[in-house]
Amino acid sequence: MNDDWLTRYSRHILLDAVDVAGQRAISDARVLVVGAGGLGSSVLLYLAASGVGYITIIDGDTVSLANLQRQIVHRQTDIDRNKAESAADNLRRLNPEISITPISRYLDTATDIDPQYQVVVDCSDNFATRYLLNRACQQHRIPLVSGAAIRFEGLLAVFDFRHDNSPCYECLFPATPHATEDDTCSRNGVFSPLVGMIGTAQASETLKLIMGIGQTMHSRLASLDMLSLRWHESRLIRDPACPVCANHSTTVHSATT
């Protein structure tokens, strides 16, 4: 902690719920972000700007011209570069005081999930990765911040596996042979500010989990309709038949705001 550190994060430190102790927790935190696309762009920019000390980015895709409509961590000059590498370079320019580790391949094994990560942020775009992350985080009891966005609709949930009764992603979306990979942005389109709103909310949940402040989205699912700008919230419980957390996720309360 020095004068530059205090100045850079002064607007956080002024917040009673954060203060110096909270900012120190952020600076010491280790976070894994899976996916450096639309959701990952906002997540990464805000985590880096907020001073998360150690960020690992996993993505095997490359930047294309069609990505730039929403993937704001990348630039025109990054076209054809690996997304994890591109994002890491741009984040280092944003905040050179933090450590960023890019992994330029797709997540393909649970061994990529180090138990030392304090939070894993799922910004992926396919069910296989989401299921893999869910199982690994449940096994290691690492909080998982999950986001999704397609067309004008977004989803946000937190599965805090530090709690014994936490539902998991497969309680909400059971793995079936009919799980489709066709529901993608490249096939259906996506409204660019939507990924920013969901990704920013994921970053907020991540920081709250790191500091242990506020009320997170643990055991809750928020869905956003951008055309009406309305959020709908559902509360979730564990599925007793879930093959991952071994306990049918049912909605016991819902409210529209």
Region 245-249: what's the mean pLDDT? 60
Tokens coding 118: 């304090």
Burial class (CB in 10 A: 0-12, 13-18, 19+), 230: exposed
pLDDT at position 222 is 97
Predicted local distance difference test score (pLDDT) of residue 256: 40
Count of CA atoms in the C-beta half-sphere (13 A) of 17: 9
Angle at 189 between CA 186 and CA 193, to 5 degrees: 120
Query: Tens digit of pLDDT for each residue in 114-168?
Result: 899 999 999 999 999 999 999 999 999 999 999 999 999 999 999 999 998 899 9
Question: DSSP assignment, residue 152?
Answer: T
Percent of the chain with pLDDT over 90: 79
What's the pLDDT tens digit per position in 181-239? 556 666 788 999 999 999 999 999 999 999 999 999 999 999 999 999 999 999 998 98
Q: How much is the average pLDDT of 16-25?
A: 98
Q: Which two tokens stand for residue 209?
A: 């989990």
Q: What is the DSSP string of 16-80?
A: TTTHHHHHHHHHH-EEEEE--SHHHHHHHHHHHHHT-SEEEEE---B--GGGGGT-TT--GGGTT
- Let me know if domain 3-256 sits in CATH 3.40.50.2300: no
**Packed helices 192-211 and 19-28: angle between N→C axes, nearest 10 degrees:** 110
Helix or strand holding residue 255 (H, E): strand 251-256
Better pLDDT: 112 or 2: 2
Q: How far apart are CA 116 and CA 192, in angstroms?
A: 33
pTM over the 0.75 mark: yes
Which among 135, 48, 27, 140 has a CA at the least distance from the CA of 90?
48
Higher per-residue pLDDT: 92 or 179? 92
